[in-house]
Chain A
Amino acid sequence: QKEVEQDPGPLSVPEGAIVSLNCTYSNSAFQYFMWYRQYSRKGPELLMYTYSSGNKEDGRFTAQVDKSSKYISLFIRDSQPSDSATYLCASRLTDSWGKLQFGAGTQVVVTP
């Protein structure tokens, strides 16, 4: 079983809708939680990261972490066709020197 589980989708939404993405993880020692976005044929790029539990907002993006249930979420408001990509959640320990455990990635398609 992978340490970070993520539904691969695809998830199709109409333009303007809220995109809701989720991951679960099994290692309770994970402290940092990230969301990366990967466009087709490109490398992943960091969208947001949070430390421990809580919410973080950046423009149209909101990341949430619930350590009690080992649940990670990303919400994209007012979705645009340019948001169509694969979104990967990732987690790491505090002292892991940056070793990231990635979920499988969820493919999101925003239709005009």
Chain B
Amino acid sequence: DSGVTQTPKHLITATGQRVTLRCSPRSGDLSVYWYQQSLDQGLQFLIQYYNGEERAKGNILERFSAQQFPDLHSELNLSSLELGDSALYFCASSVVGSNEQFFGPGTRLTVL
């Protein structure tokens, strides 16, 4: 158990809908990262927050957004969902400056 929690574990929804994925980092970790893992693209970095502020952005679509709250939990919002958004979404956390990111168990999103 990495100490990072993600909810829900599974999410099934329809095209055009909006969903919110939630992540609670390890106690003491100020950095939160979101990744998308799909069969064709592999594990791709989406976005990073540090203590509530956005710090780095990867190949995140404009339909996706994220935020980190004062209690350090983070949410990833996916809107106008398409079939191609079906994937595993991972959250990871770390202490600042560390090379070790601790990954949560992931949320499996299925868009029908």
Contact = CB atoms under 8 A, between A and B. Distances in A.
A46 B48 CA distance: 18
Interface residues of B, number: 25
Interface in B71-90: 90
A80 interface: no
Contacts of A101: 45
Contacts of A99: 33, 45, 48, 56, 58
Given A43-B104, A45-B103, A49-B100, A97 B43 contact: no
Nearest to A43: B103
* Size category of the binding interface on chain A: 20 to 34
A42 interface: yes
Determine chain A's interface SS by DSSP, over half rule.
Answer: loop
28 contacts: A2-B42, A32-B99, A34-B99, A42-B106, A43-B2, A43-B90, A43-B103, A43-B104, A43-B106, A44-B43, A44-B103, A45-B102, A46-B101, A49-B99, A88-B43, A97-B31, A97-B48, A97-B50, A98-B31, A98-B33, A98-B98, A98-B101, A99-B48, A99-B56, A100-B33, A100-B101, A102-B43, A105-B43
Interface of A: 2, 32, 34, 42-46, 49, 88, 92, 96-105
